[in-house]
């Protein structure tokens, strides 16, 4: 039986994959984005009612992250509107080790609706679809916290777990922590990408203040700079954040995608080839 599912952030890193997977399973999917019809805009609450009308279940991603100021109030307002529209279930994408994001989780948990919380570690795709891509293309990656080891997770695995949570009531009331199968430092990641793409990519450790200054000079939006500063200072090497979980295996009955597998698949797209990137 098909459900009417709204995917908020349906053109984003996890959202678009959730949309594709649900469509293949012949679910009725509504893409929640500013350019969709009806539109969904986090900055414009007047769009929410039409986007939620007739919807049974919602996959929620908040841009740029649940930890940023204003996210809690937005999630509270969205849950209120979802209840008004008689939505039955919420699946929330959250961040592993983010205390601020856990306040948003509590709103969903205590909403009175069915729910699943999906807490993800840092995305592997940040190196191919997000803020770490440009330095890789430039051949010089400079980042703070070189000693931090992170169990990066693939957005394909996150999407598969989200789809399972949306379609199977067995996942109701659960909090899943999603990680990849190993922890890696930034230098190990850069080395892996360089080797696979056949390029010289240098890694340089820098201070956090120098990194933030560099982002400001490149004109990165203020809310992203706030988030990156928060992630590097509060989350990246926080106690327990390098712990590998087996929740992907538990939910999907298969092992999570490794960073090496992600790199091998991504290198075939040419996204790390500067010439290809310039033509795109």
Task: Assess if residue 175 is contained within a domain.
Answer: yes
Residue 274: its pLDDT value, please?
87
Residue 275: its pLDDT value, please?
67
**Exposed, middle or buried, 250 (CB in 10 Å: 0-12/13-18/19+)?**
exposed
Q: What is the domain count for the chain?
A: 1
pTM of the model: 0.95
Task: Assess if residue 208 is contained within a domain.
Answer: no
3-state secondary structure of 103: helix
CATH of the domain at 100: 3.40.50.720
**Helices first, then strands: H and E counts in the chain:** 13, 8
Encode the chain (280 residues) as per-residue pLDDT tens digits.
789 999 999 999 999 999 999 999 999 999 999 999 999 999 999 999 999 999 999 999 999 999 999 999 999 999 999 999 999 999 999 999 999 999 999 999 999 999 999 999 999 999 999 889 999 999 999 999 999 999 999 999 999 999 999 999 999 999 999 999 999 999 999 999 999 999 999 999 999 999 999 999 989 889 889 999 999 999 998 888 899 999 999 999 999 999 999 999 999 999 999 864 444 4
Task: Assess if residue 253 is contained within a domain.
Answer: yes
Task: Assess if residue 251 is contained within a domain.
Answer: yes
Residue 279: its pLDDT value, please?
42
Residue 216: its pLDDT value, please?
95
Task: Assess if residue 14 is contained within a domain.
Answer: yes
Task: Assess if residue 271 is contained within a domain.
Answer: no
Task: Assess if residue 145 is contained within a domain.
Answer: no
Question: Containing domain of residue 33, as a range?
Answer: 4-121+154-179+243-257
Task: Assess if residue 76 is contained within a domain.
Answer: yes
């Amino acid at each position: 039986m098909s459900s009417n599912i709204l995917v908020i952030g349906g053109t984003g890193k996890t959202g678009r994959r959730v949309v594709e997977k649900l469509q293949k399973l012949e679910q009725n999917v509504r893409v929640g984005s500013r350019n969709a019809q009806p539109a969904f805009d986090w900055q414009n609450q007047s769009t929410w009612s039409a986007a939620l009308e007739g919807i049974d279940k919602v996959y929620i991603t908040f841009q740029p992250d649940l930890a940023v100021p204003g996210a809690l109030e937005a999630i509270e307002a969205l849950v209120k509107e979802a209840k008004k529209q008689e939505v039955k279930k919420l699946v929330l994408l959250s961040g592993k080790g983010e205390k601020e994001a856990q306040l948003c989780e509590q709103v969903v948990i205590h909403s009175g609706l069915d729910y699943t919380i999906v807490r993800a570690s840092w995305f592997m795709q940040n190196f191919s679809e997000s803020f770490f891509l440009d330095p890789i293309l430039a051949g010089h990656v400079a980042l703070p916290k070189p000693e931090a080891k992170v169990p990066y997770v693939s957005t394909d695995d996150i999407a598969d777990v989200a789809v399972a949570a949306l379609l199977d009531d067995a996942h109701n009331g659960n909090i899943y922590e999603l990680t990849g199968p190993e922890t890696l430092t930034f230098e190990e990641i850069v080395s892996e990408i360089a080797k696979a793409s056949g390029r010289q990519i240098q890694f340089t450790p820098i201070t956090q203040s120098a990194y933030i200054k560099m982002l400001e000079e490149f004109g990165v939006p203020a809310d992203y700079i706030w988030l990156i500063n928060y992630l590097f200072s509060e989350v990246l090497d926080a106690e327990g954040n390098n712990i590998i979980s087996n929740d992907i295996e538990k939910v999907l009955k298969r092992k999570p995608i490794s960073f090496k597998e992600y790199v091998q698949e991504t290198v075939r797209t040419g996204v790390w080839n500067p010439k290809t990137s310039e033509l795109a």
